[in-house]
Chains A and B, each alone.
Chain A
Amino acid sequence: LAKTTQPISMDSYEGQEVNITCSHNNIATNDYITWYQQFPSQGPRFIIQGYKTKVTNEVASLFIPADRKSSTLSLPRVSLSDTAVYYCLPDTGRRALTFGSGTRLQVQP
């Protein structure tokens, strides 16, 4: 399984754009990159998934360069409610996901 590396924590202010980068140097050819958000005492919530280039949905954008060794989750204009832990995971689409430590994002007013 591809190992991922994310910053342990990040701080931001309301209204700012937040970019969280994840390193996955040995990602497999069949792996997608999936990002989840988790609030305390809740199950992880799917945010976005991509294979390469750029994917955008109503809550975030995901940038994956051509070499696919990293990915960046972009959260536009964060609010206090975006304070959570964000996980980057390689996903084969079949096996159970293996979670790393994630990035704890703290949004300040």
Chain B
Amino acid sequence: GAVVSQHPSWVICKSGTSVKIECRSLDFQATTMFWYRQFPKQSLMLMATSNEGSKATYEQGVEKDKFLINHASLTLSTLTVTSAHPEDSSFYICSARVGGVSTDTQYFGPGTRLTVL
């Protein structure tokens, strides 16, 4: 299957600082990428859809000024958590679709564990 990578795999930061997470499609181009958040023992929650060359589309309840998304190329999308607070501590996962025989398939990155102290 297609490979999606994320960097860093984990990050610890102080409250009030900003953190950038990168999501890359390694062997395909992705005009659209998705960002999810997962809290312990819970399922994945879609945060936003990242569109190459245009503004991201955020899900209801997700602050667009806090979670800045940039999709500057067909292989890279970044999520910046601005002024992070302990409640932003979570597991952030990105994904992208790849065309298949019958339908596009969504592939996920390995995730980034963010801990805000």
Contact = CB atoms under 8 A, between A and B. Distances in A.
Interface of A: 32, 34, 36, 41-46, 49, 51, 87, 91, 93-94, 96-102
Given A43-B93, A43-B109, 19 more contacts: A32-B103, A41-B91, A43-B95, A43-B111, A44-B93, A46-B1, A46-B105, A91-B106, A93-B103, A94-B104, A96-B34, A97-B46, A97-B95, A97-B106, A98-B46, A99-B45, A100-B43, A101-B43, A102-B43
Interface residues of B, number: 26
A42 B6 CA distance: 11
A74 B105 CA distance: 20
B7 interface: no
Nearest to B113: A41
Interface of B: 1, 4, 6, 34, 36, 43-46, 49, 91, 93, 95, 97, 100, 102-111, 113
Contacts of B46: 96-98
Nearest to A36: B108
Contacts of A98: 46
Given A42-B110, A43-B93, A46-B1, A99 B105 contact: no
Nearest to B103: A93
A87 B108 CA distance: 13
A95 to B, nearest CB: 8
Contacts of A41: 91, 111, 113
